[in-house]
Amino acid sequence: MTEDRGQRIEDRARRTEGESRKSLRRRPSSVGCHLSAVLCLPFMAFLIVFSIGCGRKAPPFIPEQKPFKASIHQLQGVWKDESLALKGLVQGDDASPSRTTGCRIYYVWYSLEAPPCEGCPIEMKNYRDVTGKIISDGQFECLVPGFREKGICFVMVRLMEKEGRLGPESNRIKLISEM
């Protein structure tokens, strides 16, 4: 004989039907569990391998480049028609002149009526890049066409390397053009 425990048969039938539905919702399928574990393992391995890095425990840095030390000393300039002819001596280590691809000529013009005072700072914001062969036998020679204007011109030159790096500044020269 079955004990009723005060429940009707209909109530028991509804209860077992409801429990079976609930139990289906609660249990994940074993195929789903295995599939998620299989997909998760490669992702976790990827994270572990790439979080380790190269093993170096220092901040990243750019390797030092060999300094470009070629410079021009005893810079001189003369007017040739509308052009400026510059000359000077090249100094630096033996490899620097061979790495030179051109020069950057910094300049500033002042009017003849308003020249800068002797102790005034002169800011040279204007420049022209000249490429090509400008060094031969330790001598710097450069012709800057279409440069001449009326006034006082201050000029300074820096040699340029292939990557665009600039060497030290030359001495500054003063040229007067009365055209």
**Per residue in 16-45, pLDDT tens?**
555 555 555 555 556 555 656 667 777 777
Residue 85 and residue 34 share a domain:
no
Tokens of 133: 């062969």
User: Do both 48 and 78 map to the same domain?
Assistant: no
**91 shares its domain with 26:** no
Domain count, the chain: 2
Range from 60-64, 90-94, 150-154 carrying the lowest mean pLDDT: 60-64
Residues 6+ apart with CB under 8 A from 52: none
Q: Are residues 100 and 166 in the same domain?
A: yes
pLDDT (0 to 100) of residue 153: 93
pLDDT value for 28: 55
* Amino acid 52: pLDDT: 67
Mean pLDDT of 66-77: 88
- Digit-coded pLDDT (tens) for 95-107: 677 788 899 999 9
Are 168 and 96 a contacting pair, CB within 8 Å?
no
Domain match, 28 and 75 both = no
- List 141's β-bridge partners, or say none: 87
Whole-number pLDDT of residue 179: 73
Whether residue 29 is found in the same domain as residue 89: no
Q: Is 19 left (phi over 0), alpha (psi -120 to 50) or beta?
A: alpha
Residue 13 resides in a domain: yes
CATH of the domain at 116: 2.60.40.10
Q: Which helix (H) or strand (E) holds 61?
A: none
Q: What percent of the chain has pLDDT over 90?
A: 33
Residue 15: which domain range?
Answer: 9-52
Give the strands of the sheet with 135-136, arranged side by side. 71-80, 83-91, 139-144, 135-136
| Phi, psi torsion values for 155, nearest 5 degrees | -130, 145
Q: Would you say 84 and 177 are in contact if contact means Cβ atoms under 8 Å apart?
A: no
Taking phi over 0 as left and psi of -120 to 50 as alpha, with beta for the rest, 80 belongs to: beta
Residues 153, 103 within the same domain: yes
- Tell me: do 79 and 45 sit in the same domain: no
* Nearest partner of 140 among 64, 63, 73, 49, judged by Cα: 73
At a CB cut-off of 8 Å and minimum separation 6, what does 76 contact? 86, 87, 88, 173
pTM recorded for the entire structure: 0.63
Domain check: are 171 and 85 in the same one? yes
The answer to whether residue 60 sits within a structural domain is: no
Residues 77, 155, single domain; the answer is: yes
